[in-house]
Amino acid sequence: MNKAKPTQKVATVLLLLAACATTHANDPLEGLELVEPSTGQAAPEALVGKYSPEQVEQGRYLVGLLGCGNCHTDGALAGKPNPERLLAGSATGIARSDPTSVSYPGVVFPANLTPDDETGIGKWSLEQIDTMIRSGTNRHGQRTLPVMPWPNYSQLRPEDTEAIAMYLKSLPPVKHKVPAGVQPGKKSKAPFVHFGVYRSTK
């Protein structure tokens, strides 16, 4: 680093917080450990069903390209993906507020995207899945948080989101209930990660 001309350093970190972790004024990273998430999760094979095989395969390609499994596969956020739960939701959550400045951040848990009727999207229509992808609005009319990058997905073509919906509906259903989201100020009973970008002040 050139000392005569200070430069800003930007670092992206991923921190895993234990459910019992709290932050302290003297050390905001106490109780956190650095983890390396798994990326490039394979999109699982779909079952032969009522949808066009070409569209389903296109949906599979897009799900892999968009990296959906990196968050929606159990264990992937902590670097240990469970191959039995590909796209079946994560029991590790994602902080939606800054855990370095509040004791208990809000936490969301990536949903089960397999067509299980009880814990996944089995009761969702293709149109409801399309709406969720493109606008972040679930079938109950609730807007999801931008932790899921739906503002980017809104640029997808309708035929692409339809193919994704057909692919997800064609997956083998996996029964896996993820924890309920946690509001800021409440203590999470499940572990969660925090994505952050920090820059030097000197």
pLDDT tens, position by position, 113-129? 999 999 999 999 999 99
* Neighbouring residues of 160: CB distance < 8 A, sequence distance ≥ 6: 58, 62
The list of the chain residues with pLDDT below 50 reads: 1-12, 19-25
pLDDT of residue 114: 98
Is 0.75 surpassed by the pTM of this model?
Answer: yes
Which sign, positive or negative, has the C-alpha torsion 166, 82, 95, 155?
Answer: negative
Whether residue 94 contacts residue 144, with contact meaning beta carbons closer than 8 Å, is answered with no
Q: What is the pLDDT of residue 136?
A: 84
Tell me the one-letter amino acid at 13: V
From 51, 48, 18, 49, select the one nearest 32 (Cα to Cα): 18
pLDDT for the residue 28? 58
pLDDT of residue 41: 82
Q: Return the pLDDT at 2.
A: 44
- CB-CB contact of 126 with 169 (8 Å): yes
Burial (Cβ within 10 Å: 0-12, 13-18, ≥19) of residue 108? buried
Provide the CB-side half-sphere exposure for 133 (13 A, CA): 28
